[in-house]
């Protein structure tokens, strides 16, 4: 039994979680579950990154203190991880005192090594990455950040510097002598080339930034957010606490594995700065840093600043978290980018889960119940083509899981399902039930089918924990506590099989696509560009039922798909060169306010709407108007002349973000 420490990045609290954050956490959870089943002692850590300029700015925009914003977003993370059944052993917030102690201790060790000095600092700074860039690294024109595509700002101040240059050679040596240190190989080569071209010392403090950890011994300086954030991997284990015993000694100083899972956007911080800090402090390095690719939408990285994120709520509500877990791991080649689409999601669900897994499981269970008095068949089988494929699949699955090649692991399991199906079709047990009754031959055939499904469900336990347990129950097998169950022969004989329940009801794709498109502008009678403006016709989904022809009636569920939320107008201004449009910033209870455009400038003056409570359609696809993005729509009625009347509650006190129904 080994010790295994696995971490996710700690997520910024200026954004609510989207499927990119979920992906990293699902990967960590899957690996943690797999290693626990394999017999390792595991510590799985996740958490939130709460300091820095970004958070300070986001909080100021919303008129709250940074810690209030952090508390709000952290509770969303906790909720979401609970819904996903994440099995983390620790959750660290960088605003916790135990974290500050860890940061201070790390800095003390770096300072003792003689690796800190004070010097003036100038350069191009992206506030979203909280990182300085060289001129060469920025996109031109406009000195734009390569990740956020936003202009970087020129910064000049007195800072503390870390002697990163001193670690150029040790880092190269480390990378060369530890082939698995940076994965995948392409990332390793990239980092190696970056280090080899020469490292400049790194500024590790900021002057005059209020929201952060004060730099020990240097009043007026705040610890650079990345030095602060990276230290979470130690502080969460108890580093810096008196005695430093507990998980820190076992999981960081012990001889087990230490795996950081990250997105490719934060490679340099993890593969260059972090190991250099650790080398300087005389501490062990992670054994492996694995960078995965990005989830894209419309060919761009999904991120709040680009405005193209997929939020998980609707998908989870409709399909449950396990289906999203499966999709994310099945669809992305770990290490490369992948594109999210609703169509791809429903196709994957129907073909893999409803059809291959669900149908096979319920078919064999139903036949076995019919043939053997409601129980699993009495006789197992040790010599058949399914077994041969199963043995190969088990080996492949294990190898792929060890390499974080989830797509390959899942593909292997599905090959076993395909083989089992072919085997059943060739032997037609449904006919044998009638022709020969509960014969030994029928017993072996159906037992093979159940056994194949049991093996697939066992392999799925780390990926879809709740669903895999349901599939195992459906084929009469218990949930195993160890990966030893991943061997041929585990299906018990003559145990009761439960009444089959639909595991994955098939989704009507056309209906699904129409439903998710329904609240969007394209499905409404209004032209797309006009849709986010209340002066436009009210979308069909919210038209009064009495006036609607019978064919256009919708049920309550469909209505509830339109997410109407209360909003409070924070700012409102006219849009230059437009006689109709007003630009609003509206608080709808999210981490950041929404920018919403509305065509009511002829009827309302901006200043009279600041502070107004309004009704926002919150789940509209964003639309561009006069080059500005509208992230929702305000509801309005019309007067007899067709002029908009903004809908506002008749008395104050509605909570921003509360649902309107």
Give min distance, CB of 126 to ligand ME8, in A. Answer: 12
User: Contact between 30 and ligand ME8 (CB under 6 A)?
Assistant: no
Instruction: Select 12 or 397, whichever has its Cβ closest to ligand ME8.
Output: 12
In 113-231, which ranges are continuous DSSP H helix?
168-177, 185-196, 225-230
| Interface with ligand ME8: number of residues (CB under 6 A) | 21
User: Phi then psi for 141, rounded to 5 degrees?
Assistant: -80, 165
Distance of closest approach, residue 521 Cβ to ligand ME8, in angstroms: 25
- Is 88 annotated in the active site? no
Best CA proximity match to 100, nearest among 51, 54, 142: 51
Taking alpha carbons only, the member of 313, 234, 232, 230 closest to residue 274 is 230
Position 262 contacts ligand ME8 (CB under 6 A): yes
* Contact pattern for ligand ME8 over residues 324 through 343, marking x by CB under 6 A: --------------------
Q: What angle do helix axes 321-331 and 465-474 make, rounded to 10 degrees?
A: 100
| DSSP H or E segment with residue 339 | strand 338-339
Q: What's the closest the beta carbon of residue 100 comes to ligand ME8, in angstroms? A: 15
- Give SS3 for 310: coil
Nearest Cα residue to 236 out of 385, 111, 93: 93
- For residue 290, state whether it binds ligand ME8 (rule: CB under 6 A): no
**The binder of ligand ME8 chosen from 66, 102, 238, 263 (CB under 6 A):** 263
The one among 4, 9, 56, 518 contacting ligand ME8 by CB under 6 A: 9
Give all strands (DSSP E) within 34-152, no chain letters: 41-49, 90-93, 116-126, 131-133
Q: Is 132 in the site for ligand ME8 (CB under 6 A)?
A: no
Q: Does 303 bind ligand ME8 (CB under 6 A)?
A: yes
Among 3, 4, 21, 474, binds ligand ME8 (CB under 6 A): 21
Q: Give least dist CB 311 to ligand ME8, A.
A: 12
Catalytic residue among 145, 271, 381, 572: 145
Report phi then psi at 142, rounded to 5: 95, 5
Binding to ligand ME8, residues 467-526 (CB under 6 A): none
294 binds ligand ME8 (CB under 6 A): yes
140-145 long-range CB contacts below 8 Å, 24 or more apart? none
Distance, in Å, from the CA atom of 643 to the CA atom of 620, rounded to the nearest integer, reads: 23
Catalytic residue list contains 264 = no
Which position among 23, 44, 84, 406 is part of the footprint of ligand ME8 (CB under 6 A)?
23
Check binding of 450 to ligand ME8 (CB under 6 A): no
Among residues 5, 24, 181, 188, the one that binds ligand ME8 under rule CB under 6 A: 24
Q: Where are the alpha helices (DSSP H) in 403-475?
A: 406-427, 429-436, 440-460, 465-474
If one asks whether residue 601 binds ligand ME8 (CB under 6 A), the answer comes out as: no
Question: CA-CA distance, 340 to 147, in Å (whole number)?
Answer: 19
The answer to whether 336 and 296 are in contact (CB under 8 A) is no
Q: Which residue in 77, 248, 251, 295 binds ligand ME8 (CB under 6 A)?
A: 295
CB of 47 to ligand ME8, least distance (A): 9
Assess whether 271 carries a catalytic annotation.
no
Catalytic choice (51, 121, 148, 218):
148
- Active-site residue flag, 178: no
Does residue number 312 form part of the binding site for ligand ME8 (CB under 6 A)? no
What three-state secondary structure class fits 466? helix
Is residue 148 flagged as an active site residue? yes
Please identify, using beta-carbon distances, which residue of 17 and 519 lies nearer to ligand ME8. Answer: 17
The answer to whether residue 10 forms part of the interface with ligand ME8 (CB under 6 A) is: yes
267 or 394: CB nearest ligand ME8: 267
Q: Are 472 and 503 in contact (CB under 8 A)?
A: no
Helix or strand (DSSP H, E) at 7: strand 3-7
394 near ligand ME8 (CB under 6 A): no
In DSSP terms, 230 is beta-bridged to: none
- Rounded to whole angstroms, what are the CA distances from 378 to 242, 372, 446, 477, 499? 60, 8, 10, 14, 18
Helix axis angle, 360-371 to 429-436, nearest 10°:
10
Separation of alpha carbons 550 and 553, rounded Å: 5
- Give the separation between CA 552 and CA 295, rounded to whole angstroms: 36
Looking at the Cβ atoms of 12 and 488, the one nearer to ligand ME8 is: 12
Name which of residues 222 to 241 contact ligand ME8 (CB under 6 A). 229-230, 232
Catalytic entry in 264, 301, 381, 572: 301
Least distance from C-beta 128 to ligand ME8, angstroms? 8
- Give min distance, CB of 211 to ligand ME8, in A: 14
Q: Is 129 a catalytic residue?
A: yes
Q: At 259, give phi and psi (nearest 5°).
A: -115, 125
Q: Indicate the residue among 147 and 630 with the shorter CB distance to ligand ME8.
A: 147
Q: Within 13 Å and on the Cβ side, how many CA atoms surround 127?
A: 15
Q: Which stretch binds ligand ME8 (CB under 6 A): 174-182, 206-214, 296-304, 370-378?
A: 296-304
Span near ligand ME8 by CB under 6 A; candidates 8-16, 119-127, 372-380, 589-597: 8-16
The answer to whether 650 is a known catalytic residue is no
The closest residue (CB) to ligand ME8 is: 20
- Interacting residues of 341 by C-beta distance below 8 A, sequence separation 6+: none
Residue from 5, 29, 49, 526 in contact with ligand ME8 (CB under 6 A): 49
Tell me if residue 270 is catalytic.
no
- Phi/psi-derived region of residue 308, left when phi > 0, alpha when psi is between -120 and 50, beta in every other case: alpha
What is the number of H-type helices and E-type strands within the chain? Answer: 23, 25
User: Length of the chain in residues, anyone?
Assistant: 661
Beta carbon of residue 98, minimum distance to ligand ME8 (angstroms, whole number) = 16
Q: Which of 88, 99, 121, 129 is catalytic?
A: 129
Map residue 315 onto helix, strand or coil. Answer: helix
Which two three-digit tokens encode residue 364? 């064999």
| Binding track, positions 143-182, relative to ligand ME8; x by CB under 6 A | ----------------------------------------
**Any idea which residue has 């402090």 for tokens?**
281
CB 334 → ligand ME8: shortest distance, Å? 11
Instruction: Between 332 and 367, name the residue whose CB sits nearer to ligand ME8.
Output: 332
Q: Which residues bind ligand ME8 (CB under 6 A)?
A: 9-12, 20-21, 23-24, 49, 229-230, 232, 262-263, 265-266, 294-295, 301-303
Residues labelled as active-site residues: 18, 21, 126, 129, 145, 148, 301, 304
């Amino acid at each position: 039994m080994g010790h295994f420490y696995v971490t996710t990045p700690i997520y910024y609290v200026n954004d609510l979680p989207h499927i990119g954050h979920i992906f990293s956490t699902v990967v960590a959870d899957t690996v943690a579950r797999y290693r626990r089943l394999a017999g390792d002692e595991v510590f799985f850590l996740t958490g939130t990154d709460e300091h820095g300029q970004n958070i300070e700015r986001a909080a100021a925009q919303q008129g709250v203190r940074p810690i209030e914003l952090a508390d709000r977003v952290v509770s969303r993370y906790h909720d979401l991880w609970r819904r996903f059944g994440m099995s983390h052993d620790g959750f660290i917030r960088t605003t916790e005192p135990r974290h500050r102690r860890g940061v201070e201790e790390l800095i003390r060790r770096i300072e003792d090594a003689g690796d800190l000095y004070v010097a003036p600092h100038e350069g191009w700074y992206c506030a979203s990455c909280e990182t300085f860039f060289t001129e060469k690294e920025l996109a031109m024109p406009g000195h734009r950040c390569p990740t956020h595509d936003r202009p970087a700002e020129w910064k000049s101040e007195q800072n503390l510097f870390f002697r990163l240059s001193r670690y150029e050679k040790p880092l190269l040596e480390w990378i060369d002598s530890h082939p698995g240190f940076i994965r995948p190989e392409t990332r390793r080569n990239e980092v190696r080339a970056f280090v080899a071209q020469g490292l400049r010392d790194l500024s590790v403090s900021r002057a005059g930034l209020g929201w952060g950890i004060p730099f020990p011994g240097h009043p007026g300086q705040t610890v650079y957010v990345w030095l602060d954030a990276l230290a979470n991997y130690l502080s969460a284990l108890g580093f810096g606490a008196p005695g430093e015993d507990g998980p820190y000694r076992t999981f960081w100083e012990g001889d087990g594995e230490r795996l950081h899972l990250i997105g490719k956007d934060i490679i340099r911080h993890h593969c260059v700065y972090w190991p250099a800090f650790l080398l300087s402090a005389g501490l062990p390095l992670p054994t492996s840093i694995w960078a995965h690719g990005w989830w894209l939408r419309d060919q761009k990285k999904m991120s709040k600043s680009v405005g193209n994120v997929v939020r998980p709520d609707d998908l989870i509500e409709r399909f449950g978290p396990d289906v999203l877990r499966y999709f994310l791991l099945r669809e992305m080649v770990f290490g490369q980018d992948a594109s999210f689409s609703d169509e791809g999601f429903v196709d994957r669900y129907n073909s893999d889960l409803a059809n291959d897994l669900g149908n096979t499981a319920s078919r064999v269970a139903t036949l076995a119940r019919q043939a053997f008095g409601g129980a699993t068949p009495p006789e197992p089988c040790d010599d058949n083509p399914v077994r041969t494929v199963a043995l190969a699949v088990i080996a492949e699955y294990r190898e792929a899981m060890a390499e974080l090649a989830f797509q390959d692991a899942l593909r292997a399991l599905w090959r076993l399902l395909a083989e089992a199906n072919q085997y059943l079709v060739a032997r037609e047990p449904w006919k044998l039930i009638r022709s020969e009754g509960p014969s030994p031959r029928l017993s072996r055939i159906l037992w093979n089918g159940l056994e194949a499904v049991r093996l697939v469900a066992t392999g799925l336990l780390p990926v879809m924990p709740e669903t895999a347990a349901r599939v195992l129950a459906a084929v009469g097998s218990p949930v195993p506590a160890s990966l030893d169950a991943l061997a041929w022969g585990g299906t018990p004989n003559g145990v009761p099989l439960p009444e089959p329940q639909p595991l994955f009801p098939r989704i009507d794709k056309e209906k699904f696509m129409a439903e998710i498109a329904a609240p969007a502008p394209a499905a409404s009678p209004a032209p797309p560009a006009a849709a986010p403006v209340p002066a436009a016709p009210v979308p069909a989904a919210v038209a009064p039922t009495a006036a609607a022809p019978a064919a256009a009636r919708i049920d309550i569920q469909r209505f509830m798909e339109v997410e109407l939320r209360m909003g409070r107008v924070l700012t409102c201004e006219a849009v230059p060169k437009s006689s109709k449009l007003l630009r609003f910033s509206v608080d709808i209870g999210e981490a950041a306010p929404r920018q919403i455009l509305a065509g009511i400038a002829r009827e309302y003056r901006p200043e009279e709407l600041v502070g107004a409570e309004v009704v926002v359609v919150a789940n509209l696809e964003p639309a561009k108007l006069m080059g500005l993005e509208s992230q929702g729509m305000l509801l309005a009625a019309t007067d007899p002349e067709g002029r908009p009347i903004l809908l506002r509650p008749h008395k104050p006190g509605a909570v921003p973000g509360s649902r309107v129904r």
